[in-house]
Amino acid sequence: MPWEIEDIAIKDRSENPAEYGIHAHNDCGLAVANTLIAIKAGAIMAQGTMNGYGERTGNADLTSIIPDIQVKMGFRCISEKSLKKLTEASRLVSDIANMTPVNSRPWVGSSAFAHKGGIHVSAIMKDSRAYEHCDPSLVGNERRVLVSSQAGKSNLLYKAEEMAISLNDSEADSGNIVKTVKKKEEEGYRYEAAEASLELLMKKETGKYKPLFFLEFFNVMIMKERDNPCKAFATVKISHNGSSEIQSAEGRGPVSALDNALRKALKVFFKKDLEEVRLTDYKVRVISGQDGTGAVVRVNIDSRDHIRLWSTVGVSSDIIEASWHALEESMQFKLIKNGG
């Protein structure tokens, strides 16, 4: 327990003047707390791992310890320039470890500075200290304002400014966007966890969306041999600036095959723009089960490159079509962010 760490540290210092440090594991969920209390009691070294990765329940998480020590406790352990790269470093280590980044991770998680309620957003637009314990840019993170059918005007205006989308008539445009979001959510969409899809939707509603490729058709085939696992094959034809490209690919499943075929086709037009893109999570949820296997499903896809995380959503009674919508928007979003 933290108070035991403190008692041990104080007693140790009184009996032994040697300098000491701490190496904490997280079996009780106290690795960070124990590390901080040890530093407060005089420890000069803190050991941990990026993102807390380690055996059993992990080690002390350096992505919390470093800013806790420097921002909250006033000790200088790294440069301010390095501190601003902490979020990027956390995501890079997740990528190397082939682990999905934890959205709720303190300081560097994508939800660490997220706001949904209209009153929250209205308050942070006036003074961010009302609902944030620090400026997210200190650790290279960013504020996220979530939008849903319950979103207030403050949320939409904030998102528009954040996404650099100018609302020609803020009242009319924000009203149209809210109306569209409500309609989409009635169909099964959810934009709280699909901000890339939300950005594309807002651009569509304000006439600022220019897709960089169009689907001509796709075809997916599953083959099952008696004693072997299923094989999936996909063919995709897309067009770009009056030219078209058709490519086929194999995958571990139909969505994997579709993703591989789409990337091959896009590579003809956009070269290396998509090489760094990885799909980190794929989630399917049945929205209403009364239609059995014909039920409407929602697919969420999380994607990333070496800097950015983004999420997209697709809805359909056909799971492959829902996956295509989410996959297509993920690629459109990335290409737009790369400047087309």
Q: Please state the domain extents for the chain.
A: 2-96, 114-205, 214-337
Q: Is the pLDDT of residue 168 over 90?
A: no
- Cα 114 to Cα 108, 109, 162, 326: the distances in Å are 11, 10, 13, 22
Give whichever of 70-74, 193-197, 267-271, 335-339 has the largest mean pLDDT.
Answer: 70-74
Let me know how long the chain is: 340
Average pLDDT over residues 35-43: 92
- Give the residue carrying structure tokens 């994508």: 110
Mean pLDDT of 230-245: 94
CB neighbour class for 282 (10 Å; exposed up to 12, middle 13-18, buried from 19): middle
Question: What local confidence, expressed as pLDDT, does residue 307 receive?
Answer: 76
Query: In CATH, what is the architecture of 214-337?
Result: 2-Layer Sandwich (3.30)
Residue 239 corresponds to which tokens in the numbers above? 């067009």
Q: What is the mean pLDDT of the chain?
A: 87
Question: Is the pLDDT confidence value at 334 over 60?
Answer: yes
Query: What are the E-state strand segments in 196-308?
Result: 214-223, 231-240, 243-251, 278-286, 297-304
Q: Give per-residue pLDDT as tens, 97-156.
A: 878 789 899 999 988 988 776 666 667 777 778 888 999 999 999 887 776 655 556 677
**Please, which pLDDT band fits residue 171 given cuts at 50, 70 and 90?**
low
The C-alpha atoms of residue 334 and residue 340 are separated, in whole angstroms, by 9
Nearest to 86 by CA among 161, 139, 25, 33: 139
This prediction has a pTM of 0.64
Torsion of Cα atoms, 199 then 200 then 204 then 210, to 10°: 130
Are the C-beta atoms of 340 and 212 separated by less than 8 Å?
Answer: yes
Distance between CA 220 and CA 37 in Å, rounded? 57
Grouping H, G, I as helix, E, B as strand and the rest as coil, residue 190 is coil
Dihedral of the alpha carbons of 210, 216, 218, 219, in degrees to the nearest 10: 170
The answer to whether residues 46 and 69 touch, using CB atoms and an 8 Å cutoff, is yes
pLDDT single digits (tens) 48-61: 999 999 999 999 99
